[in-house]
């Protein structure tokens, strides 16, 4: 089972440029159609399962808006995969 | 969701400490932000935040002093390497960096950077090349590609009339005083990582007093190029890199021995 991760995208910084959407190898990022930031952009968000916490979105993000978390693989697969 | 919370997580990436917690004025997708980020990350990793003085240029990057959390001074247009020379000579124990766009460094400031490199000043120049004057509305710059349409060359750059683009890295690489001159691109994750490594090497060159270092970073300007950010990345890869090849143009023997 692949490692699971998640990303938190700050609405203070995100300008909806879509660079992370284009770079995500798992294609789990999209621009939110419902939310709008104080600057007037639709921010990126995590859509659905499959984020591995690879951090490529954070590498391409021009605003340093993305915080990436990843599971630590120390536990047994049963506990992690629950 | 409950399961996710009890699973231990590590932070793989978070905003570097050397960036101020404020939104930038850059257009969406502008890779100035990527350049800011990798410089801030390297300064954090090297523990230099309290020992660095930046010299901001004129252009879109003029507000760099608002975005980095260390000391900055603002130079007149193009004069950042001259001002950095002064700062470094007065405070030789500080790391002195300049952050300049192509309009600033390759046009009005070409004299200053050439002479700073020729003197072998122990400063680091970060040169952002996006092939036009971004802040003033996308006019033709010395780095504009032949045939490239800008607001002041609406039929494409005519090399008979406006001459050929300047390859700044190749030019500075001919100077003895330059220790480390490289070109990197910011158009995909791999190249961004290579650019970060070059930034690290350039600052290490300065820390060890080996001479002038410059990292040129090819950048996108989606607003003035009239493209979406992802299209602009494609355009950079297809059009700019053939004219501005990514590579190491000068690595002096002492720099080649550095382990970064």
Chain A with chain B: Cβ pairs closer than 8 A: 100
Residue B17 lies inside a defined structural domain of this protein: no
**Binary contact (A68, B188; C-beta < 8 A):** no
Distance from CA of B231 to the nearest CA of A (A): 10
Residue B14 lies inside a defined structural domain of this protein: no
Mean pLDDT, range B197-213, rounded to an integer = 96
Please tell me the total count of domains within chain B: 1
User: Which domains are delineated in chain A?
Assistant: 5-81 (3.30.70.3270)
C-alpha distances (whole Å) from B245 to each of A69, B22, B161, B183, B218 are 35, 34, 25, 7, 10
pLDDT at A74: 63
As a whole number of Å, the CA-based R_g of chain A is 14
Q: Would the pLDDT of B19 be above 60?
A: yes
DSSP-derived 3-state class of residue B248: strand
Whether A22 contacts chain B with CB within 8 A? yes
Tell me the residues of B at the A interface, defined by beta carbons under 8 Å apart.
3-4, 7-16, 19, 21, 23-24, 26-34, 36-37, 40, 188-189, 192-193, 222, 228-230, 233
Q: How confident is the model at residue B260 (pLDDT cuts 50, 70, 90)?
A: confident
Q: Would the pLDDT of B204 be above 50?
A: yes
A6-35, pLDDT tens digit by residue?
A: 999 999 999 999 999 999 999 999 999 999
Residue B135 lies inside a defined structural domain of this protein: yes
| Closest among B221, B259, B214, B256 to B240, alpha carbons compared | B221
pLDDT at B259: 82
For the question of an ipTM over 0.95, the answer is no
Q: Residue B155 burial by CB count (10 A; 0-12/13-18/19+): exposed, middle or buried?
A: exposed
**Binary contact (A55, B13; C-beta < 8 A):** yes
Q: Tokens 């350049």 — which residue?
A: B35
Percent of chain B with pLDDT over 90: 95
Distance from CA of A33 to the nearest CA of B (A): 17
Integer Cα distance of A68 and A72 in angstroms? 13
Residue B141 lies inside a defined structural domain of this protein: yes
Query: How far does CA B10 lie from the centroid of its chain?
Result: 31
B52-92, pLDDT tens digit by residue?
A: 999 999 999 999 999 999 999 999 999 999 999 999 999 99
Q: Would the pLDDT of B153 be above 50?
A: yes
Mean pLDDT, range B196-224, rounded to an integer = 96
Q: Would the pLDDT of B11 be above 60?
A: yes
Residue B204 lies inside a defined structural domain of this protein: yes
Distance from CA of A25 to the nearest CA of B (A): 11
Q: And the tokens for B41?
A: 């990350």
Integer Cα distance of B180 and B213 in angstroms? 5
**Binary contact (A58, B13; C-beta < 8 A):** yes
Q: Smallest Cβ distance to B29: which of A53, A62, A65?
A: A62
Residue B51 lies inside a defined structural domain of this protein: yes
pLDDT at B1: 45
List CB contacts (< 8 A) between B44 and chain A: none
Residue A70 in contact with residue A53, Cβ under 8 Å?
yes
> CATH no. for residue B39?
3.40.50.970
**Domain range holding B33?**
25-256
**Binary contact (B23, A66; C-beta < 8 A):** no
pLDDT at B4: 45
């Amino acid at each position: 089972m692949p490692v699971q991760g998640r990303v938190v995208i700050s609405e203070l910084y995100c300008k909806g440029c879509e660079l992370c959407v284009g770079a995500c190898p798992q294609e789990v990022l999209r621009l939110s159609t419902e939310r709008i930031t104080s600057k007037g952009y639709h921010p990126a968000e995590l859509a659905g399962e499959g984020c591995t916490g690879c951090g490529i979105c954070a590498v391409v993000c021009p605003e340093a808006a993305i915080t990436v978390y990843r599971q630590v693989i120390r536990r047994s697969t049963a506990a992690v995969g629950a | 969701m409950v399961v996710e919370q009890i699973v231990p997580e590590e932070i793989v990436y978070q905003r570097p400490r050397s960036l101020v917690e404020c939104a930038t004025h850059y257009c969406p997708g502008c890779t100035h932000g990527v350049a800011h980020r990798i410089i801030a990350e390297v300064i954090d990793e090297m523990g230099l935040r309290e020992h660095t003085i930046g010299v901001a240029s004129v252009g879109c990057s003029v507000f760099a002093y608002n975005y980095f959390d260390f000391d900055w001074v603002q130079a007149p247009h193009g004069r950042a390497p001259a001002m950095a020379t002064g700062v470094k000579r007065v405070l030789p124990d500080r790391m002195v960096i300049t952050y300049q766009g192509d309009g600033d460094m390759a046009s009005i400031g070409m004299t200053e950077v050439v002479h700073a490199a020729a003197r072998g000043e122990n400063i680091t120049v970060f040169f952002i090349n996006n092939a036009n004057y971004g802040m003033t509305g996308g006019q033709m710059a010395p780095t504009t590609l032949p045939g490239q349409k800008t607001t002041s060359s609406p039929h494409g750059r005519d090399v008979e009339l406006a001459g050929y683009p300047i390859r700044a890295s190749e030019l500075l690489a001919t100077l003895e005083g330059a220790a480390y001159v490289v070109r990197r691109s910011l158009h995909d994750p791999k190249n961004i990582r290579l650019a970060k490594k070059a930034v690290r090497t350039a600052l290490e060159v300065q820390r060890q007093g080996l001479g002038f270092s410059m990292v040129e970073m090819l950048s996108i300007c989606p607003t003035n190029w009239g493209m979406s950010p992802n299209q602009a990345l494609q355009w950079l890869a297809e059009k700019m890199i053939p004219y501005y090849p990514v590579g190491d143009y000068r690595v002096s023997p002492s720099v080649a021995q550095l382990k970064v």
